[in-house]
Amino acid sequence: MNEPVFLRACRGERVAHVPVWFMRQAGRSLPEYRALRGTGSILEAIADPAVACEVTMQPVRRYGVDAAILFSDIIVPYHAIGFGVDVVPGRGPVIADPFTSAADFERLRDLTDVDIAHVTETVDRVVKELEATNTPLIGFAGAPFTVASYLVEGGPTREFTLIKTLMHTQPLLFDLLLERLSDITVSFLRAQVAHGARAVQLFDSWAGALTRDEYRRFALPATERVIASVADLGVPTILFGVGTGELLDLMSSANSTVMGIDWHVELDEGRRRVGGRPVQGNLDPARCLGGVDAAVQGAREVLARAGSAPGHIFNLGHGVLPSTDPSALEAVVRVVHEEGMAGVS
């Protein structure tokens, strides 16, 4: 079959239409997702391959997006190895016993195929479902710095005081932590690709909390290592962070195939900062809360910034917000497919 437009756009090729998918398109805002999941834990849903496959497929059917993204979470590998992670509704990942010293490395053991058998079975099921439409599946993982932030802070934070204290007062311990997390991340990504994922995204959601010097010293080396360690798989890699406009050139040096641009930076400026490599983004998710007209107008503004150069994958500048009306996203997909000109052959 012909290579999907999403994969071709990732490689900077000219395509038949601008591809589009949405971060957090699976779940949250979809009524069919809420009906399926009920009140159960998200980790329970992820652990059930039949449920996780169905949730992954729901936005593909509803929106007609050009790629599926696996229904999972960046803390899944650490839950699987027994580090003591839970996802609290309305808050996010919470660590019962945060990482504080070298003794905690005992809880960060190697990730095995058995640990994530439920994830790879989900990938198998989704890939089979997607075969008829030749829609690619995107696998993903958390970047080492962002995962370290959760493990050290014990949960989401606005201040990053504990992780920054560790970085600056015990840099060697911090380096060892990120090296360990890099190994686990690579294993998780490689397993997803081995079972059929055709691209992977690395979420460095909290990298924007770092200064340029901090990012260069404490986050970039581990990100480079992860991306280099999956390069032989031959699938596109996407690197994304929030509030990372001032870091885009540094992040680009990690050599991902595609750079995700959040909504804080205009897309044309983001392209300039990453040296013209393929980009993904970057409609402000909040623009979709105002209904169809507001979402479509925002999408057209992003397309205008994208211009006609190849190598643009349309996406939001972060994940779909829970209160988003699915009809707004349906309209965005239509206008991107019909009006987007970036790299159209």
Is residue 8 part of the annotated active site? The answer reads no
What DSSP state is assigned to residue 257? Answer: S
Is residue 217 part of the annotated active site? The answer reads no
Say which of 33, 63, 66, 73 is annotated catalytic.
73
Cα dihedral across residues 319, 305, 236, 142: positive or negative: negative
Is residue 73 part of the annotated active site? The answer reads yes
3-state helix, strand, coil in the chain (%, to 5): 50, 10, 35
Task: Provide DSSP, 112-163.
Answer: -TTTTHHHHHHHHHHHHHHGGGTPPEEEEEE-HHHHHHHHHHSS--SS-HHH
Q: Is the peptide bond before 282 cis (omega within 30 degrees of 0)?
A: yes
Say which of 125, 150, 215, 305 is annotated catalytic.
150
Is residue 28 part of the annotated active site? The answer reads yes
CA distances in angstroms from 284 to 22, 246, 255, 264, listed in the order given: 11, 18, 25, 8
Which pair of structure tokens corresponds to residue 241?
């962070």
Distance CA 74, CA 253 (A): 23
Is residue 150 part of the annotated active site? The answer reads yes
Distance CA 147, CA 308 (A): 36
* Residues recognised as catalytic: 24, 28, 37, 73, 150
